[in-house]
Amino acid sequence: MVVSKAWTLRQHFQGFPKASDFHLREETLPQPKNGQVLLEAVFLSVDPYMRPYSQTMMKEGDVMIGSQVAKVIQSYNPSFPVGCHVVSDCGWRSHWVCDGAELTPVLPDWPQDIPLSLALGAIGMPGLTALYGLEEVCEIKKGETLLVNAAAGAVGSVVGQIAKIKGCRVVGCAGTDTKVSYLKELGFDQVFNYKTATSLEESLREAAPHGYDCYFENVGGKFSSVVMPQMREYGRIAVCGSISMYNDTTPQTGILSTPQTVILQHTVQHHTTDRYTVHTTDGYTVHTTDGYTVHTTDGYTVHTTDGYTVHTTDGYTVHTTDGYT
Amino acid sequence: MVVSKAWTLRQHFQGFPKASDFHLREETLPQPKNGQVLLEAVFLSVDPYMRPYSQTMMKEGDVMIGSQVAKVIQSYNPSFPVGCHVVSDCGWRSHWVCDGAELTPVLPDWPQDIPLSLALGAIGMPGLTALYGLEEVCEIKKGETLLVNAAAGAVGSVVGQIAKIKGCRVVGCAGTDTKVSYLKELGFDQVFNYKTATSLEESLREAAPHGYDCYFENVGGKFSSVVMPQMREYGRIAVCGSISMYNDTTPQTGILSTPQTVILQHTVQHHTTDRYTVHTTDGYTVHTTDGYTVHTTDGYTVHTTDGYTVHTTDGYTVHTTDGYT
């Protein structure tokens, strides 16, 4: 019998999440049966989506939603032998008993020098979200100009890198000078700090005087309202998140879309990875439905704080600063 | 030598268009040369798109943009013999000299009992906009629930009829009780007058308690903000117009889109007929790129005022109440 530790949502977030919204509880797990495995968490992911999804998918007292990289420590399922690593959606738990149906194996030939935590980042859901948004939603083409905001985030940083590989001009926005420097190192063509820019509108226009073909949108709200008039004809907008709004207690208001967006025939698609399809593209290796292969783009940032993986997301305040073990 | 009469834009519209924004001038046309034809207008179209397009496509003094059904009265082009009818984009003019490159022939077997003006309505651009939005943008499927606003308009009334043919449940909104009755006659499942409804939000919810799969959007602004939270997962929104905003002197403000639209993975596409493709579908006959075939849906409304065709659009105030001849 194993005692698992699990972070639960004590109460729904109001405004910015705070430590007292969570509760760490212990639960005794059943002995795994035939076909089942016992998992031990190696990396938990903290992602911005948890903030809005918690409102709709969770009730108070539930274990926090989320993916983890876990190691199989007991196995009665030959597909998942002891010692192998998997990605599981079992939430913020130290241990879990399950069958293999919901598990994605991390490939056994995962290179030693690539952290396993990347299965939750550039090689996992955030990377796929970036890829899907660029390929399926934006149908991005060589030579086009792309804007991505929250560009130093788990998704945004991959978006910019893939777009560069595809021969696009990439403009990124981020909220600190450190992030701006990081994105320049990654090869973004133009990056600015939207918090210190005198005018977001002018900074965007200077970065792309002819406008944007594609806009990978992670921020929403007023930021988005400023970008929209600078989209070109047949502009494509992949809406992946709206992090500026997640902690709002009252919805943001602003100028609603104008008739101009009809004339210019913009397409806006809100997407998550639920819709992704399997790709085999040149220049980077991508996820397949039955496991992870290894990503080779330059530049990934992994912060490990007491055993948790914290992505470099913009403005998100839930940090698991205390270890669970 | 023929003297043509042409309505010009004396000054850009400010707020609601008014008669003094237009100027009727005469212009002497050149004699048609080899390959050219002389056209005489039979029906001019007044469409809502002219209001926003005039801001971006026209300068003061230009002849008003627009399509017309015209009769060929002199011809030096064997493709367009004298007496045939064509659709031309030459604007609000009584006569015009041009070659055939920009002309779409009205088929010679157009039935006698179908008004030629429908080549500017259900069998023309508005009908195609409806068709394109439903098929290409919404990819509408049998059994789905559709909302269309400005539903008695040239586009909206065709949207609802095609969606019914495709086996959908159709909810329409319009702004007068006469329009509501008309839409019920056309077979819409549920119609309400949004101007007299106590609550737009509640009326929408009562009409479709499980929400909307597709939303054919002609109105924009605050109306749209009320609809969006009632869209179902994978909801598709065909944005064809935003008539509630065309006459605004200051842009409408309201609640900006919420994180919920990302979770539900809505798709929003702004479209005009520039993008349309040729369809051959069952149940109604549609446009082909080299001419018009005849539409057989029930119900079309054509108002003819002194030789002009005025579509039953919602809230649009430019009426050519004076004849040009």
User: Is B116 in contact with B106 (CB distance < 8 Å)?
Assistant: yes
Q: Which whole number is the average pLDDT over B5-33?
A: 94
The 3-class secondary structure across A81-115, one letter per residue, is CCCCEEEECCCCECEEEEEHHHCEEECCCCCCCCC
Report the pLDDT value the prediction gives residue A206, as an integer from 0 to 100. 97
Nearest CA in chain A to B269: A267
Mean pLDDT, residues A143-155: 94
Mean pLDDT of B295-303: 36
So what CATH class is B125-274?
Answer: alpha beta
Cα–Cα distance list, A47 to A160, A244, A246, A314 (Å): 19, 14, 12, 10
Cβ contact (<8 Å) for A239 and B262? yes
Q: Are B65 and B58 in contact (CB under 8 A)?
A: yes
Length of chain A measured in residues: 325
Taking every pair of Cα atoms in chain A, the longest distance, rounded to a whole number of angstroms, is 64
pLDDT for res A295: 34
Query: What does the H/E/C string look like for A287-319?
Result: CECCEECCCCCCCCCCEEECCEEECCCCCCCCC
HEC-encoded secondary structure of A65-89: CCCEEEEEEEECCCCCCCCCEEEEC
Burial readout A78-100 (b: 16 or more C-beta within 10 A, e: otherwise): eebeeebbbbbebbbbbbbbbbb
CB B51 within 8 A of CB B35: no
| A4 Cα to chain B: minimum distance (Å) | 30
Predicted confidence (pLDDT) per residue in B60-98, tens digit: 999 999 999 999 999 999 999 999 999 999 999 999 999
Give the tokens for residue A69: 């990289």
- Report phi then psi at A278, rounded to 5: -80, 135
Instruction: pLDDT band for A308, please (50, 70, 90 cuts).
Output: very low
Q: Measure CB to CB from residue B52 to each of A222, A263, A275 and give the nearest one.
A: A263
Chain B residue numbers with beta carbons less than 8 Å from the beta carbon of A268 are: 267-270
Please state the rounded mean pLDDT for residues A114-132.
81
pLDDT band of B250, cuts 50, 70, 90 = confident
Look-up of token digits 């073909």: A213
H or E, element range at A171: strand A169-174
Rounded mean pLDDT of chain B? 81
Tens of pLDDT along B127-164? Answer: 888 888 898 889 999 999 999 999 998 899 889 988 98
Min distance B84 CA to chain A CA atoms (Å): 32
Give the pLDDT confidence score for residue A317 in this predicted structure.
Answer: 22
A265–B271: do the CB atoms touch at under 8 Å?
A: yes
Q: Quick one: B80 exposed, middle or buried, by C-beta within 10 A (0-12, 13-18, 19+)?
A: buried
**Contact status, residue A238 vs residue A220, Cβ threshold 8 Å:** no
Q: Looking at chain B, which residues constitute the CATH 3.90.180.10 domain(s)?
A: 2-105
- Claim: this prediction has a pTM higher than 0.90: no
CATH topology of domain B2-105: Quinone Oxidoreductase; Chain A, domain 1 (3.90.180)
* Residue-wise pLDDT tens digits, A246-262: 888 888 887 777 777 77
- Cβ distance B246 to A259 less than 8 Å, yes or no, reads yes
Classify A285 as helix, strand or coil: coil
Instruction: Count interface pairs A-B at CB distance under 8 A.
Output: 118
Q: How confident is the model at residue B292 (pLDDT cuts 50, 70, 90)?
A: very low
- Reported as a pLDDT band with limits 50, 70 and 90, residue B274 is low
For residue A143, the 8-state DSSP code is T
Q: Between chains, do B259 and A242 touch, taking CB under 8 Å as contact?
A: yes
DSSP class of residue A34 equals: T
Instruction: Report the pLDDT value the prediction gives residue B254, as an integer from 0 to 100.
Output: 79
Best interface-test mutation with A: which of B262, B263, B272, B276 has the largest number of A CBs within 10 A?
B262
Q: Are B241 and B99 in contact (CB under 8 A)?
A: no
pLDDT score of B170:
97
Q: Bridge-partner residues for A290, per DSSP?
A: none
Q: Is A270's CB within 8 Å of B259's CB?
A: no
Residues of A in contact with B51 (CB under 8 A): 259
Residue A271: list chain B partners with CB under 8 A.
Answer: 262, 265
Q: What is the pLDDT of residue A161?
A: 85
Which pLDDT belongs to residue B273? 60
